[in-house]
Amino acid sequence: MASGWALHAHNCSGVQSSTLKEAIQVALEEEYSHRQARTPASAWPGGSTPSANRTAPSGPVPMELGLAEQQDIRCYSCGRLGHMKRACPA
């Protein structure tokens, strides 16, 4: 068996990934979906915020991507560049 790392296509939720960038995008979308499903309606005990001046985010905050990286992202729903499936306008 050869030593070292190899990139293998990964099938996640029926989506075939052929590049590392696609596999990472699919993994991020899957993780976001799972976190959405597990996050209770109120993440703070008693439903209050930790400080009177701040409010809790309504859901997980997506990771910030640079403009160049966003332009390379392809939506698995509509196939267009620039956004992920969860933000698809179609």
> Would you state the pLDDT for residue 18?
78
**Domain edges within the chain:** 12-42+64-90
Residue that is written with structure tokens 């005990």 in the block: 45
Classify residue 32 by its DSSP letter.
H
- Residue 86 is classified by DSSP as G
- Write the DSSP assignment of 37-60 as a string of letters: HHS-S--SGGG--SSTT----SSP
The predicted structure's pLDDT at residue 34: 78
Provide the residue-wise pLDDT of the chain in tens; the chain has 90 residues.
Answer: 444 444 444 444 555 667 888 888 888 888 888 777 776 655 555 554 455 555 666 667 666 666 556 667 888 889 888 888 888 988
pTM (whole model) above 0.85: no
